A and B are shown apart, each in its own frame.
Chain A
Amino acid sequence: MKKYALTKLIGMFFTINCVAFLVFLSFAVIPGDPALAKLGAQATPERLAAMRAQMGLDRPFWERFFSWLLCAIRGDFGTSYSYGTSVSAIIAEKLPVTLLLTGMSFIIMVTCSIPISIYTAKHEGGRIDRIILIVNQVIMAVPPFFAGILITYLFGLILHWFQPGAYVSFGQDPLKCLVYLLFPAVAIALPKTAMTVKLLRSSLLDEAKKDYVRTAYSKGNRTNGVLYRHVLKNAIIPVITFLGMTLTDMIAGSVIMEQVFSVPGIGRILISSISSRDYPVVEAVIVLMTFIVVTVNLLCDVICRIVDPRIRREV
C-alpha cells in the first residue's frame, strides 16, 4: 500500500509539473507581446522596454519558468495583466462559485441516476424501462449548452422561476444563490445522468446474469436483498471510474454553462483571459484544473481499491 501511494503521488507531481511546463512554454513561444497588448500600438520603445522589465519578460525563459514555478507552489501565480491584481486573489474569489456549481450538479446526477438505473434494471423490458431508455437516448443527444438555453427559456422566461443573468453571490443571499445555481446545475447534470443510467443499468444486468447471483437466490434471499447486497456492490465498480471522469468533465462543462447562465466562476475568467491574452490567469487556471483533475482521478482509484479487494491484491 505504501509503495502504491508513493508511485501515485510521484506520478501526480510529475503530471502537474509537465502540464505547467507545457503551458508556460507554449505561452512563451507564441507570437504576440503582452507588453504591447497592454500599452497599445502607440507605445514608445522605451516605455515598452520598461513595461517588459516590470512584467519580468526580459529575463531568459528558464529563469522565468523556475521563478514562476517556485512562486506557484507557494500559491502565488503572479499579477494579472488586465486586472492588475494578484491572480491568486482572482481565483480565490471565483473558484468557490465553480466548485459549488459542480458539486451541486454532481449531487443531482448521483442521486437521480442510481435509483433510476436500479429501477430500470429491476424491470428490464417493461414499459417504463423502455420509455426511460428512449428518453435517455434523446437526452444524450442534447448539447449541454442547448439544454441550458432551453432551461433559461422554460423556467426563466415563461415560468419566471428565476431571473436569467441576475446572479446573486453566496455572501449576499445564500438561498437565492443556491436557487439560481440549481438551474445551471440541472443543465450540466442532465446528459451526465443519462450516460450514468445507461452504464449502470447495463452493468447491473451483466452482474445479475452471473453464477453467484443464482446461488444467492437459491439460498433463499429475496430479490431486493440480492440486488442491494450483492449485485449493486459489484456493478458499481466500473461506474465509480466513470463518475470520476464525469466529475472532471463537469468542471470543463461548467465553463460553458457559466457562460450560458452568466455565473461569475472560474470558467468565465478563463474565457475572458484567453480573449484578452491575460496569460498569468490562463496559466494559473489550467494548472489548477489539472490539479483538480489529477486529484479526482487519484481519489477514484483509491475508492475503487477500498470497494473492491480484488484490485488491491492484483498489484
Chain B
Amino acid sequence: MKKRNYNLLLGGAITGIMMLLTLMGFFYTPFDPEKMDAANKLSGISLTHIMGCDNFGRDIFSRVLKGCGTTFTVACGTVLIGTVFGTLIGAFTGYFGGIVDEVLMRIMDALFAFPSLLLALVFVSLFGSGKYHVIIALGIAFVPSFSRIVRGEYMRCRDLDYVKSARLSGASHLRIMFVHILPNIFTVLLSSIMIGFNNAVLAEAGLTYLGIGVKPPDASLGEMLSSAQTYLFSAPWYALCTGGTMILMILGFSLMSEGLKKNGGGRYAS
C-alpha cells in the first residue's frame, strides 16, 4: 500500500485555505481596511473584530487579508521574474555548455554568494522603494539560484536516451529544450518555485519592515508587523495575529515542497 504523503496533503490544505482568504481579500473584507475608528483604538479580540484593532482603530483581520494580497502579489511577481530568467539562463547554459556556460556561471556564482536580502537592499536604494521596485529588485536577486538549479537538471538530462532520440528524429534544439526536457524537470522546478516563493515572502517582509519595501498605502504584512512592534506591550495580539498569518503562508508552501520532493524522489532515485 502506498504511504500517504501527509506533507503534501497538509501543505496543500494550509495553502488552499490561505489562497482562498487572500482571494477573498481582493474582493471583500469584513471592514474597510483603511477606515479609522478612534473608539476601537487597540481594542482586543472580540466577535466583531476577530483579530482586534490596531493603533488607528482599523480592523486587523481586514488589513491582514489586504496585506496577504500585497505580499502574495510581490512574491508571485518575484518568483515569476526569477523563474523565467533563471530557466532561460539555466536551460541555455546547461544544455549547450562551453565557454558561455563558464562565464555566465562564474557571474552567477558571484551573485549567488551575495545574500539576496543585501542585493535587494542595494537595488531598492538605487531605484527607490514601492511595490513594483521591490518585485524587480527581489526578482533579479532570485535569478541566480533558479538558474543554478535548472542548469544542473539540464546537464543531467541533455544526454539521456529520450533527448537523443528526439535529436535523431530532427527536433530543433529549442524544441528539445522546452518541449521535451522542460516538462521532465517540472517537479524539481515546482518544488524550488515553492521554496523561492517562501524566500520572497520573507524578503519582502524584511525589506518592508526596514521601511524600504512596500509603501504605506498598500497594506503589507511586513509593514503591519513593524508597526505592531511598537504596541507589543499594550496590544500583543496585533503582532501575534499578523506574524501567525505569515507563518501559515510560508509553512503551507514549505510542506508542499517537501511533499513534492518525496513524491518526485521515488521517480528519480532509480
Task: List chain A positions with a Cβ less than 8 A from chain B.
Answer: 15, 18, 23, 26-27, 30, 137-138, 140-146, 149-150, 152-153, 157, 245, 248-249, 251-253, 255-256, 259-260, 270-271, 274-275, 282, 286, 289-290, 293-294, 297
Pairwise interchain contact B125-A149, C-beta atoms closer than 8 A: no
Report A-chain residues with C-beta under 8 Å of the C-beta of B127. 30
- Among A143, A157, A290, max chain B CB count under 10 A is at A143
Q: Which of B205-258 contact A (CB under 8 A)?
A: 205-206, 209-212, 225, 228-229, 232-233, 236, 239, 243, 246-248, 250-251, 254-255, 258
Q: A145-B206, A256-B210 are in contact. Are A153 and B113 (CB under 8 A)?
A: no
State in angstroms the CA–CA spacing of A275 and B121 once bound together.
11
| Range, interface on chain B | 35 or more
CB of B122 within 8 A of CB of A286, answer yes
A140→B250 CA distance, assembly (Å): 9
A274-B114 CB under 8 A given contacts A140-B254, A146-B243: no
Residues B243 and A149 in contact, CB atoms below 8 Å apart: yes
**Cβ of A286: which chain B residues have Cβ within 8 Å of it?**
118, 122
Bound-state Cα–Cα, A286 to B122, Å? 8
Q: Which residue of A lies closest to B127 (CB)?
A: A30
- Give every chain B residue within 8 A of A144 (Cβ-Cβ): 202, 206
Q: Inside 8 A of B122's CB, which chain A residues have their CB?
A: 23, 26, 286
Q: B110 interface residue, CB < 8 Å from A?
A: yes
Residues of A within 8 A of B113 (CB): 245, 248, 293-294, 297
28 contacts between A and B (CB under 8 A): A30-B126, A140-B254, A141-B254, A142-B243, A143-B202, A143-B206, A143-B246, A143-B247, A144-B202, A144-B206, A145-B206, A145-B209, A146-B205, A149-B232, A149-B239, A150-B239, A152-B229, A157-B232, A157-B233, A245-B113, A252-B115, A252-B118, A255-B117, A255-B121, A259-B209, A274-B121, A286-B118, A294-B113
Q: Tell me how far the C-beta of A238 lies from the nearest C-beta in chain B, rounded to whole angstroms.
A: 14
Shortest CB–CB separation between residue B244 and chain A, in angstroms? 9
User: Chain B 109-150, CB within 8 Å of chain A: the 1/0 string?
Assistant: 010011101100110111100000000000000000000000
B145 to chain A, nearest CB (A): 11
Our pick among B114, B201, B212, B229 for the contact of A275 (Cβ within 8 Å) is B212
Is B210 touching A271 in the complex (CB atoms < 8 A)?
yes
Residue of A nearest to B252 (CB): A141
Are A137 and B209 interface neighbours, CB within 8 A?
A: no
Q: Is the CB of A282 within 8 A of B117?
A: no
| CB-based nearest B residue for A249 | B115
Q: Which of B125, B233, B236 has the most CB of A within 10 A?
A: B125
B212 touches A293 (CB 8 A): no
B15 to chain A, nearest CB (A): 12
Q: Hey, which chain A residues are within 8 Å of B125, CB to CB?
A: 274, 282
Contact partner of A255 among B210, B211, B254, CB < 8 A?
A: B210
List, in ascending order, chain A residues with CB within 8 A of B201's CB: 143
- Once the chains bind, are A146 and B118 in contact (CB under 8 Å)? no
Q: Which residues of B contact A (CB under 8 A)?
A: 110, 113-115, 117-118, 121-122, 124-127, 198, 201-202, 205-206, 209-212, 225, 228-229, 232-233, 236, 239, 243, 246-248, 250-251, 254-255, 258
- Evaluate whether A274 and B212 lie within 8 angstroms (CB atoms) in the complex, with A142-B247, A153-B236 already known: yes
CB distance from A274 to the nearest CB of B (A): 4
A311 to chain B, nearest CB (A): 17
Closest to B116 in A: A252
Task: Choose from A27, A137, A253 the contact partner of B117 (Cβ within 8 Å).
Answer: A253
- Closest chain-B Cβ to A201's Cβ sits at a distance in Å of 13
- Given A150-B243, A153-B232, is A143 in contact with B205 using a C-beta cutoff of 8 Å? yes
Identify A141's interface contact among B209, B232, B250, CB under 8 A: B250
Please name all residues of chain B whose beta carbon is closer than 8 Å to the beta carbon of A149 when the two chains form the complex: 225, 228-229, 232, 239, 243
Alpha-carbon gap, A282 to B258, bound state (A): 39
Question: With a CB–CB cut-off of 8 A, which chain B residues contact A245?
Answer: 113
- For A293, give its contact among B114, B126, B198, B243 (CB under 8 Å): B114
* CB <8 Å contact, A256 and B247: no
Bound state CA distance, A142 and B250, in angstroms? 8
Could you say which residues of chain B place their CB within 8 Å of the CB of A260? 229
- Give the residue name and chain of the A residue nearest to B107 (CB): A18
Cβ–Cβ contact A251 & B115, under 8 A: yes
Q: Is the Cβ of A152 less than 8 Å from the Cβ of B251?
A: no
Inter-chain contacts of A251 with B (CB < 8 A): 115
Question: Which of B232, B246, B251 is in CB contact (< 8 Å) with A138?
Answer: B251
Structural contact, B118 and A141, CB atoms closer than 8 A:
no
| Chain B residues closer than 8 Å to A23, beta-carbon distance | 122
Name the distance in Å between A24's Cβ and chain B's nearest Cβ.
12
| Min CB–CB distance B19 → chain A (angstroms) | 16
Question: Chain A residues with Cβ under 8 A from B115's Cβ?
Answer: 248-249, 251-253, 293
How far does the alpha carbon of A132 sit from the alpha carbon of B258 in the complex, in Å? 16
